[in-house]
Amino acid sequence: MIPNLPPPAGVGPGHPAPEFDPLEFLRLSPQDTLARAQAFYSEMNARRTTRQFSRDPVPQAVIEWAVRTAGTAPSGAHRQPWRFVAVQDGGLKARLREAVEAEEYKTYTQRMPAEWRAALAPLGTDHIKEHLTDAPWVIVVFREKYGVGADGTRIKNYYTVESASIAVGLLIAAVHHAGLVTLTHTPNPMGFLAELLGRPSNEEALVVMPVGYPAPDATVPRLTRKPLNEIFQVDRGSAGRPRIEP
Ligand code: IYR
């Protein structure tokens, strides 16, 4: 407890009292908790990113449920600063692909330094984005940089990149859980996407995600995931804080 200090701004007079409800929570046994943690890992560890999509259709309802799941993400000040534009129209997907490929061609041939191209070589990526026209759905995720009040005033949003990115993580999990595949694609620059999809200027595209079934002959790059001991630490490490020279 910090003694004798005034309450922080946002608490107390001048702000509406926060309203709380009881938490609905089903407490599982320790055994079930562990079993479910393991089962979920197994399910998520089976997720792979492929670049080859089938043209088989996927009902809109599946996309809507996955987006509802994404919309359960926590967000800065609960502003929910995300919009999901699901493109299924063939003509629109073709225009999207054309615009993306034009930018990506410049990126791959002019903007990417050699080190970056080398880093991507094992993934086999290039500027050709067939998945944007093969996949039945292409979800473009926008982050809302700021809100707009009824009178047109700007409303500040918080941690919009983090919030929308958490929602993207949930969307990836939801798509995988539904038995579909997706690919997180980040064309750069992305300014044209808001224009093409008729989104307002307070929104900025964050990621493009084709969603569908994998092509029957889909492949994935041969990759391994870092084991737990490379991504996890409990309490303070024993090595001190290694200095890594830049
Ligand atoms: N945005 C480009 C390039 C690209 C960059 C990274 I980092 C990747 O992991 C994969 C691709 C593209 O989408 O092709």
Measured distance CA(246)–CA(235) in Å, rounded? 26
Residue 87 contacts residue 93 (beta carbons within 8 Å): yes
Q: Which atom of ligand 1 is nearest to the CA of 129?
A: 14
Neighbour count for residue 97 (Cβ, 10 Å) = 21
Q: How far is CA 66 from the centre of its chain?
A: 12
Measured distance CA(159)–CA(242) in Å, rounded? 30
Indicate if ligand 1 lies below 6 Å from the C-beta of 188. yes
Neighbour count for residue 137 (Cβ, 10 Å) = 23
State whether CATH 3.40.50.620 applies to domain 48-215: no
What is the structure's pLDDT at 243?
87
* Annotated domain spans of the chain: 48-215
User: Cα(182) to centroid of ligand 1, in Å?
Assistant: 14
User: Cα(186) to centroid of ligand 1, in Å?
Assistant: 6
Measured distance CA(39)–CA(170) in Å, rounded? 17
Indicate if ligand 1 lies below 6 Å from the C-beta of 104. yes
Mean pLDDT of the chain: 95
Q: Please give the structure tokens belonging to residue 234.
A: 């409990």
Measured distance CA(197)–CA(9) in Å, rounded? 40
Q: Which atom of ligand 1 is nearest to the CA of 185?
A: 13
The SS3 call for residue 117 is helix
Which of 228, 224, 223, 135 lies closest to 183, judged by CA?
135
Indicate if ligand 1 lies below 6 Å from the C-beta of 60. no
Q: Which mutation among 50, 123, 185 tests ligand 1's pocket best, with the greatest number of atoms within 8 A of CB?
A: 185
What is the structure's pLDDT at 218?
98
Q: For residue 32, give the H/E element and its range.
A: helix 30-45
What is the structure's pLDDT at 225?
98
Q: Please give the structure tokens belonging to residue 141.
A: 């995720």
Q: In 112-245, which ranges are continuous DSSP H helix?
A: 114-120, 131-134, 160-177, 191-196, 228-231
User: Cα(160) to centroid of ligand 1, in Å?
Assistant: 21
pLDDT surpasses 80 at 92:
yes
pLDDT tens readout for residues 147-194: 999 999 999 999 999 999 999 999 999 999 999 999 999 988 899 999
What is the structure's pLDDT at 10?
67
Q: Which atom of ligand 1 is nearest to the CA of 119?
A: 7
Length of the chain: 246
Q: Which atom of ligand 1 is nearest to the CA of 127?
A: 14
User: Per-residue pLDDT averaged across 102-110, rounded?
Assistant: 93
Measured distance CA(131)–CA(54) in Å, rounded? 8
- Lowest mean pLDDT segment, chosen from 89-93, 120-124, 168-172, 198-202: 120-124
Which of 226, 172, 232 lies closest to 49, judged by CA?
172
pLDDT tens readout for residues 43-90: 999 999 999 999 999 999 999 999 999 999 999 999 999 999 999 999
pTM to 2 decimal places:
0.94
Indicate if ligand 1 lies below 6 Å from the C-beta of 118. no
Indicate if ligand 1 lies below 6 Å from the C-beta of 122. no
DSSP class of residue 125 equals: -
What is the structure's pLDDT at 24?
97
Specify the higher pLDDT residue, 241 or 57: 57
pLDDT surpasses 90 at 11:
no
CB-based contacts of 165: which residues, under 8 Å, 6+ apart?
Answer: 206
User: Cα(49) to centroid of ligand 1, in Å?
Assistant: 13
